[in-house]
Chain A
Amino acid sequence: MIRNSLLSFLGILWASSASAEWALNMPKGVTELSAETYDLHMMVFWWCVAIGVVVFGVMIISLVKHRKSQGVEPASFSHSTTAEVIWTALPVVILLLMAVPAAETMIRLEDSRDPDVSIVVTAYQWKWHYKYQDEGVEFYSSLNRPSIEARTKNSGIDPFSVDNFLLEVDRPLVVPKGAKVRLLITSNDVVHSWWVPDLAIKKDAIPGIVNETWFRAEESGTFRGQCAELCGKDHGYMPVVVEVVEPDAYLAWAEAQRASGERVAASQ
Chain B
Amino acid sequence: MTTAVADAHDAHDEHHGPEKGIKRWLFTTNHKDIGTMYLVLSLIMFLVGGSMALIIRTELMQPGLQFVHPEFFNSMTTMHALIMVFGAVMPAFVGLANWMIPMMIGAPDMALPRMNNWSFWILPVAFGILGSTLFMDGGAPASGWTMYPPLVLQTGDAFPFLIFSVHLMGISSIMGAINIIVTILNMRAPDMWLLKMPMFVWTWLITAYLLIAVMPVLAGAVTMLLTDQFFGTSFFLAAGGGDPVMFQHIFWFFGHPEVYIMILPAFGVVSEIIPTFSRKPLFGHDSMVYAASCIAFLSFIVWAHHMFTVGMPLSGQLFFMFATMLIAVPTGVKVFNWVATMWRGAMTFETPMLFSLAFVFLFTIGGFSGLMLAIAPADIQYHDTYFVVAHFHYVLVPGSVFAIMAAVYYWLPKWTGHMYNETLGKLHFWLSTIFVNVTFFPMHFLGLAGMPRRIPDYSTQFANFNEIASIGAIGFGLSQLIFVWVLLAARRGEKATDRVWEAPRGLEWTVPSPAPYHTFDTPPKARVAQESFE
Q: Do chains A and B touch in the complex (CB under 8 A)?
A: yes
* Interface set of A (CB-CB < 8 Å, partner B): 19-27, 36-37, 40-41, 44-45, 48, 51-52, 55-56, 58-59, 62-63, 66-69, 72-80, 83-84, 87-88, 91-92, 95, 98-99, 102-103, 105-107, 109-110, 150-155, 157-160, 164-167, 189-191, 193, 195, 197, 200-204, 206-209, 211-212, 225-237
Roughly how many angstroms separate A91 CA and B283 CA in the complex, as a whole number? 19
Query: Inside 8 A of B375's CB, which chain A residues have their CB?
Result: 40-41, 44, 98, 102
Interface majority SS (helix, strand, loop, mixed), chain A: mixed
Chain A CB within 8 A of B376 CB: yes
Chain A CB within 8 A of B280 CB: yes
Roughly how many angstroms separate A48 CA and B371 CA in the complex, as a whole number? 8
Contact B348 A193 (CB under 8 A): no
Chain A CB within 8 A of B336 CB: yes
Contact A166 B459 (CB under 8 A): yes
User: Given contacts A151-B65, A206-B310, A232-B151, are A75 and B344 in contact (CB under 8 A)?
Assistant: yes
Binding stretch for chain A, among B29-37, B107-115, B324-332: B324-332
- Distance between A127 CB and nearest chain B CB, rounded to angstroms: 15
User: Given contacts A78-B281, A200-B380, are A236 and B455 in contact (CB under 8 A)?
Assistant: yes
Interface residues of B in 378-406 (CB under 8 A from A): 378, 380-381, 383-385
Contact B339 A59 (CB under 8 A): yes
User: Given contacts A40-B375, A200-B380, are A166 and B284 in contact (CB under 8 A)?
Assistant: no
Query: Inside 8 A of A230's CB, which chain B residues have their CB?
Result: 74, 143-144, 148, 151, 453-454
Contact A76 B238 (CB under 8 A): no
Roughly how many angstroms separate A62 CA and B533 CA in the complex, as a whole number? 23
Q: How large is the interface on B (under 10, 10 to 19, 20 to 34, 35 or more residues)?
A: 35 or more
Select A66's contact among B69, B345, B371, beta carbons within 8 Å: B345
- Distance between B368 CB and nearest chain A CB, rounded to angstroms: 4
Query: Inside 8 A of A23's CB, which chain B residues have their CB?
Result: 445, 448-449, 461
Chain A CB within 8 A of B372 CB: yes
Query: Inside 8 A of B465's CB, which chain A residues have their CB?
Result: 22
Query: Inside 8 A of A77's CB, which chain B residues have their CB?
Result: 283, 344
Query: Inside 8 A of A204's CB, which chain B residues have their CB?
Result: 309-311
Select B381's contact among A51, A83, A191, A200, beta carbons within 8 Å: A200
Contact B70 A233 (CB under 8 A): yes
Contact A193 B464 (CB under 8 A): no
Contact B71 A233 (CB under 8 A): yes
* Most chain A CB neighbours (cut-off 10 Å) among B245, B311, B318, B445: B311
Contact B150 A63 (CB under 8 A): no
Residue of A nearest to B444 (CB): A24
Residue of B nearest to A197 (CB): B450
Select B321's contact among A87, A103, A158, beta carbons within 8 Å: A103
Query: Inside 8 A of A206's CB, which chain B residues have their CB?
Result: 238, 244-245, 310-311
Roughly how many angstroms separate A109 CA and B313 CA in the complex, as a whole number? 12
* Most chain B CB neighbours (cut-off 10 Å) among A23, A63, A211: A23
Contact B280 A41 (CB under 8 A): no
Chain A CB within 8 A of B297 CB: no
Contact B377 A207 (CB under 8 A): no
Query: Inside 8 A of B344's CB, which chain A residues have their CB?
Result: 62, 66, 72, 74-75, 77
Roughly how many angstroms separate A67 CA and B318 CA in the complex, as a whole number? 46
Contact A95 B63 (CB under 8 A): no
Contact A153 B66 (CB under 8 A): yes
Chain A CB within 8 A of B357 CB: yes
- Distance between A29 CB and nearest chain B CB, rounded to angstroms: 9
Interface residues of B in 284-334 (CB under 8 A from A): 284-287, 309-311, 314, 317-318, 321-322, 325-326, 328-329, 332-333
Q: List 14 A-B contacts (CB under 8 A).
A: A37-B380, A37-B381, A45-B372, A59-B357, A62-B339, A91-B332, A153-B67, A165-B459, A195-B384, A197-B450, A206-B238, A229-B384, A235-B74, A236-B454
- Please provide the 8 A-B residue pairs with the shortest distance between their CB atoms, ordered closest to farther: A208-B238, A236-B455, A211-B311, A48-B368, A78-B281, A75-B344, A23-B449, A20-B461
Contact B460 A165 (CB under 8 A): yes
Query: Inside 8 A of A73's CB, which chain B residues have their CB?
Result: 346
Contact A41 B378 (CB under 8 A): yes
Chain A CB within 8 A of B26 CB: no
Contact B66 A207 (CB under 8 A): no
Residue of A nearest to B360 (CB): A59
Contact A190 B449 (CB under 8 A): no
Contact B342 A202 (CB under 8 A): no
- Distance between B238 CB and nearest chain A CB, rounded to angstroms: 2
Contact B452 A78 (CB under 8 A): no
Chain A CB within 8 A of B217 CB: no
Query: Inside 8 A of B376's CB, which chain A residues have their CB?
Result: 102, 106
Roughly how many angstroms separate A197 CA and B451 CA in the complex, as a whole number? 10
Contact A55 B339 (CB under 8 A): yes
Roughly how many angstroms separate A28 CA and B409 CA in the complex, as a whole number? 47
Contact B64 A155 (CB under 8 A): yes
Interface residues of B in 410-464 (CB under 8 A from A): 445, 448-450, 452-461, 463-464
- Distance between B124 CB and nearest chain A CB, rounded to angstroms: 29
